[in-house]
Amino acid sequence: MAGFPQMQTPMDNDTGESSAKMDRLERYLASDPANRHLVTEAIDLAMRLGRLDAARKHADAAVLALPDDPFLAQRRGNVLLAQGELAEAAAVFERLRTRTDDPAVAYSLGYALFKMGAFEQARTTLEPSVSGGSAPVAMAVLLLRVLHHLGHIEEAIRMAEPYLDANTSASELLGVAALLYFDDEQFEHADRLSRASLAAGARRLEALVVQGSLALAKEDADGATRCFSEALWLNPSDGRSLFGLGTASLLKGQLHSAKAHLQEASANMPTDIGTLHALAWCHVLGGDLDEAHATFAGALALDPDWGESHGGMAVVHAMRGQADDAQASIERALRLDPECVPALYAQAILSGEAADPARLQAWARRLFGKRFGP
């Protein structure tokens, strides 16, 4: 069977030599379509050249000509993954898994399920191979990401430990583990692992997110901006990085930029209440109380038992001079969270102790400087 699939990207230079070789292979295949060696070479070269349609054509033809060849079926599955045909790829690997215990097949199936958002199925697929501590690192990393998405942080950390002990310079593993430790509030471990990941030579998104979030905690807005900007170069739609960049802009008083980044973060993480809170405070600081009210209302619709949402709504009511509504929201917030900072601030507004806009801006920046992430 083939090894672990490499998600192919187009070559930087589609050289004439490679194109000419591709043309030769296609001529040979026209007269010998069932030649396993030729078709494998054609699929792989087309993938390296970024010619996914050609790779798919040859993979489909190969499986039609040699339907019982698991090697070619796996090659076709890898092409489907590269094309984003996740459900069809998963079906290919599911059939293959009944015929072989090759970990590469389990990895490919787990990857397809992960990308489809079928995290429990991905976990069931990957866990038997990884739990022993001797699976390939790529498979362990994939399962750690699956567990992270499922919210099983402590379990993921326990599973990561033997792989970390045996792979001290595996930058992707170090980066993924760093984010797990960060979300478990083991910040020293997270800092050490993320630095080790970046020092290993590769710039990993998770490691950059950890370093950016730690910079935010120190109110180092410029350092956070550098980390999150680099993370977004790696993945322009990463919600945590967009949130971090928006929060860094908020710390710097750049409300327009903060609002734009946080709106994009919310679009990528529509159920994340922390991101909605940050966006709502941008509206408050910008004086757009109608948008702030609507955004806090959206957060309450997701979870009516979150004290800070009621506290934020209390601030909006207080700034509008709606004392009764503000007081009702304050009471709800403090019942849910007796130390709810926005509710206490709303009380200060009602009493006249915090009516100064500059004080509101300073308070909000401090509040979000202590926010590590969504």
Overall average pLDDT of the 36-50 stretch: 85
pLDDT digits (tens, 9 = 90+) for 116-128: 999 999 999 999 9
Which pLDDT score is estimated for 12? 45
The tokens for 181 are 């430790």
**What per-residue string of b and e applies to 5-38 under the rule 16 or more CB within 10 Å gives b?**
beebeeeeeeeeeeeeebeebeeebeeeeebeeb
Q: How far is CA 373 from CA 168, 179, 181, 243, 292, in A?
A: 27, 11, 13, 7, 20
| Listed range (64-68, 255-259, 278-282) with the worst mean pLDDT | 64-68
pTM: 0.84
Question: Does 366 score more than 80 pLDDT?
Answer: no
89-109 confidence digits (pLDDT tens): 999 999 999 988 888 999 999
Cα angle at 109 between 111 and 95, to 5 degrees? 165
28-32, 144-148, 251-255, 348-352: range with lowest mean pLDDT: 28-32
Helix H or strand E encompassing 55: helix 52-65
Residue-range domains of the chain with CATH: 1-83 (1.25.40), 117-237 (1.25.40.10), 251-374 (1.25.40.10)
> From CA 101, how far away is CA 97, in angstroms rounded?
6
State which H helix or E strand residue 186 sits in.
none
Give the pLDDT of residue 133. 81
**The token pair that represents 13 in the structure block:** 């230079």
CB 86 within 8 A of CB 115: yes
